[in-house]
Structure 1
Amino acid sequence: MELVKRTMEYYQAGSSKDKGAHPLQLFIIIKNFLAMVDQACVDITRELQRKKIDSVDTLT
């Protein structure tokens, strides 16, 4: 847990002063960010597949 606290302090300067903060808040933020990146990748892949199907349809 000490490593988590030091990591949080490193990335969120002054976070140790806020005793009410959840110690894993930084990791929750990172998890949410990665979920948004993953969703963007899924959306891009779907769009590229749709365009590929549309281009094949126009050639036939």
Structure 2
Amino acid sequence: MWNSPAEFFAMGGYALYVWCSFGVCLLVMLVEPISIRIRRKAIIQRLQQEHLAEQFDKEGRQ
């Protein structure tokens, strides 16, 4: 139990560990969706390039 906001933010002497943990968790939760979106775009672009290369290759064989 905390009697004041200062005691709450001090977290019983473990404030550095607690708030850094929350900060790292928040950072990961923000960065992960952005990273996934970037990787997804790169994969789609690579697949489109491969598809175009296959079409070009098929047209060259005819």
Instruction: Please give the range of the TM-score, normalised by the shorter of the 2 chains.
Output: 0.5 to 0.7
**Structure 1 runs, 4 residues or longer, greater than 2 Å off:** 21-25
Answer 1 or 2: which has greater helix percent: 2
Q: Percent identity?
A: 7
Residue correspondences, number? 42
Q: Does 1:28 align with 2:31?
A: yes
Structure of greater Rg: 2
Question: Which consecutive residues of structure 2, in runs of 5 or more, have no partner in the other structure?
Answer: 1-17
Q: Report the equivalent of 2:19.
A: 19
Looking at both structures, which has the greater relative contact order when contacts are Cα pairs under 8 Å and sequence separation is at least 6? 1
1:41 to 37, 40, 44: 44
**Secondary structure at the counterpart of residue 19 of structure 2:** coil
C-alpha separation between the residues in 2 aligned to 1:25 and 1:19?
14
Question: Which consecutive residues of structure 1, in runs of 5 or more, have no partner in the other structure?
Answer: 1-17
User: What is the TM-score with the length of structure 1 in the denominator?
Assistant: 0.61
- The two structures, once aligned, show a CA RMSD in angstroms of 1.4
Q: Report the equivalent of 1:52.
A: 55
